[in-house]
Amino acid sequence: MSLPRIAIDAMGGDEGVRVMISGAAEARRRHDKFKFLLVGDEERIKRGLESHPNLRAASEILHCDDVVSGDEKPTQALRRAKTTSMGLAINAVKTGEAGAAVSAGNTGALMAMAKLSLRTMPGIDRPALCAVMPTLGENDVFMLDLGANTEADARNLVQYAIMGAAYARILTGKEQPRVRLLNIGTEETKGTDSLRVAAAQLQAATGLALQFDGFVESDKINRGEVDVVVTDGFSGNIALKAIEGTARFVTDLLRRAFTSSIRSKVGFLVSRPATELLRHHLDPNNHNGAVFLGLNGVIVKSHGSANEKGVANAVAVAARLLEEKLTERITADLAELHARLGNGAAGDLGA
């Protein structure tokens, strides 16, 4: 049985065609069962494929020379959804020409186009942006929503928990990922009404393919004590940028400290294996590939500044989610949730 193609927006990202093609070629070496639809300027793509015969043999090119710019407003980009490489890659998922789309382009435009074109899955009110971050534990942590929706009520938060757990099961292999709601404290009385109601519903729905562990504070996100962190897009985006900023602060501080004197430079040489491990752990390319969960199709957002390895990881995420049938898992988990909570509560969740 042939697997669905993956559509690649070859024009997105800071470096465009070169990095996107090289990254897709690396992903093709990892997942040689997949074929690709490369969307963008045909001549530039062909030149990029010259050094990647393995990808060339598994790809079809859809010509398009219109590109969504990084600073373009989503409303403006929507008007050109039928002419841009991003819009055509998403449309390929809608028409069934591809099973997933990967883009490193404008996040807001990608979200707007994907929501309008693919619509949300039955039982899901709003899609959520989910990313993977490193932890001190054995597994990474999955966090959503990271900006697709600034607000979320209890129903949205419960749906996010279901979607995030389904995604985490695929990538971690855990049958019951540990799920927590982001809050200002771990006590049951803390937080907004939406948080407390969502917590009560998740606690009541026993037997799901997740382990609900209550609340988690932001300083514990990367400790390895939780697999899925659920929050609204406003709080999630702030938390994500604070974590990324702290990581850059630490690495810059170390770099400054190690170059401040001759003794410091000697110390750097001695501790280089440890600092290299730190650099590798904090490298965003190793965790590249945020997913828009809750849509009728798989859409993966690569970081705009991702290198070839980062793009390959984003494409590999798309391939894995297609292989493991993410959307079908979410549908089944939602049905199980409604059955566990009963008709009354299921109605509150949009069943």
- Ranking 61-65, 85-89, 141-145, 302-306 by mean pLDDT, the lowest is 302-306
Domain boundary at 118, 146, 167, which? 118
Average pLDDT over residues 288-313: 88
Average pLDDT over residues 60-83: 89
Are 45 and 130 in the same domain?
no
Domain count, the chain: 2
Find all residues with CB under 8 Å of 177, minimum gap 6, and list them: 142, 164, 165, 168, 169, 210, 211, 227, 228
Asked whether 95 and 7 are in contact (CB, 8 A), the reply is: no
In a domain, 297, yes or no: no
Of 337, 293, 344, 346, the residue nearest 318 (C-alpha): 293
Percentage of the chain modeled with pLDDT above 70 = 88
Q: What's residue 273's pLDDT?
A: 55
In a domain, 101, yes or no: yes
For residue 323, give the amino acid letter: E
Average pLDDT over residues 203-220: 88
The pLDDT of residue 249 is above 90: no
Structural domain for 325, as ranges: 121-289+320-351
Q: What's residue 272's pLDDT?
A: 52
Q: What's residue 191's pLDDT?
A: 85
Average pLDDT over residues 138-161: 90
Domain boundary at 118, 136, 160, which? 118
- Ranking 74-83, 183-192, 231-240, 256-265 by mean pLDDT, the lowest is 256-265
Are 138 and 27 in the same domain?
no
Q: What's residue 250's pLDDT?
A: 72
Asked whether 5 and 294 are in contact (CB, 8 A), the reply is: no
Per the DSSP assignment, residues forming a β-bridge with 36 are 6, 59
Per the DSSP assignment, residues forming a β-bridge with 109 are none
Domain boundary at 118, 151, 178, which? 118
Task: Provide the pLDDT confidence category of residue 72 given band limits of 50, 70 and 90.
Answer: confident
d(CA 34, CA 323): 10
In a domain, 298, yes or no: no
Are 203 and 324 in the same domain?
yes
> How far does CA 259 lie from the centroid of its chain?
36
Q: Distance of CA 252 to CAs 102, 245, 248, 249, 261, Å?
A: 31, 10, 6, 5, 16
The pLDDT of residue 350 is above 60: no
Task: Please write the tens of the pLDDT for every residue from 150-193.
Answer: 889 999 999 999 999 999 999 888 999 999 999 998 888 888 99
Asked whether 159 and 349 are in contact (CB, 8 A), the reply is: yes
Are 86 and 231 in the same domain?
no
Are 133 and 2 in the same domain?
no
In a domain, 60, yes or no: yes
d(CA 305, CA 332): 36
Largest CA distance in the chain: 70
Are 159 and 197 in the same domain?
yes
- Ranking 71-75, 241-245, 323-327 by mean pLDDT, the lowest is 241-245
Q: What's residue 258's pLDDT?
A: 64
Find all residues with CB under 8 Å of 72, minimum gap 6, and list them: 106, 109
Are 272 and 346 in the same domain?
yes
Q: What's residue 74's pLDDT?
A: 87
In a domain, 187, yes or no: yes
Find all residues with CB under 8 Å of 73, minimum gap 6, and list them: 108, 109
Q: Which domain CATH number covers 50?
A: 3.40.718.10
What tokens does 112 get?
């707007």
Question: What HEC string does the chain produce?
Answer: CCCCCEEEECCCCCCCHHHHHHHHHHHHHHCCCCCEEEEECHHHHHHHHCCCHHHHCCEEEEECCECCCCCCCHHHHHCCCCCEHHHHHHHHHHHCCCCEEEECCCHHHHHHHHHHHHCECCCCCCCEEEEEECCCCCCCEEEECCCCCCCCCHHHHHHHHHHHHHHHHHHHCCCCCEEEEECCCCCCCCCCHHHHHHHHHHHHCCCCCCEEEEEECHHHCCCCCCCEEECCHHHHHHHHHHHHHHHHHHHHHHHHHHCCCHHHHHHHHHHHHHHHHHHHHHCHHHHCCEEEECECCEEEECCCCCCHHHHHHHHHHHHHHHHCCHHHHHHHHHHHHHHHHHHHHHHHCCC
Task: Please write the tens of the pLDDT for every residue from 8-62.
Answer: 999 987 778 889 999 999 998 887 888 999 999 999 999 989 989 988 989 999 9
Mean pLDDT (the chain, rounded): 85
Q: What's residue 135's pLDDT?
A: 85
More confident residue, 180 or 261: 180
Q: What's residue 163's pLDDT?
A: 93
Q: What's residue 247's pLDDT?
A: 74
- Ranking 77-81, 174-178, 278-282 by mean pLDDT, the lowest is 278-282
Task: Provide the pLDDT confidence category of residue 207 given band limits of 50, 70 and 90.
Answer: confident
Average pLDDT over residues 335-343: 75
Q: What's residue 281's pLDDT?
A: 52
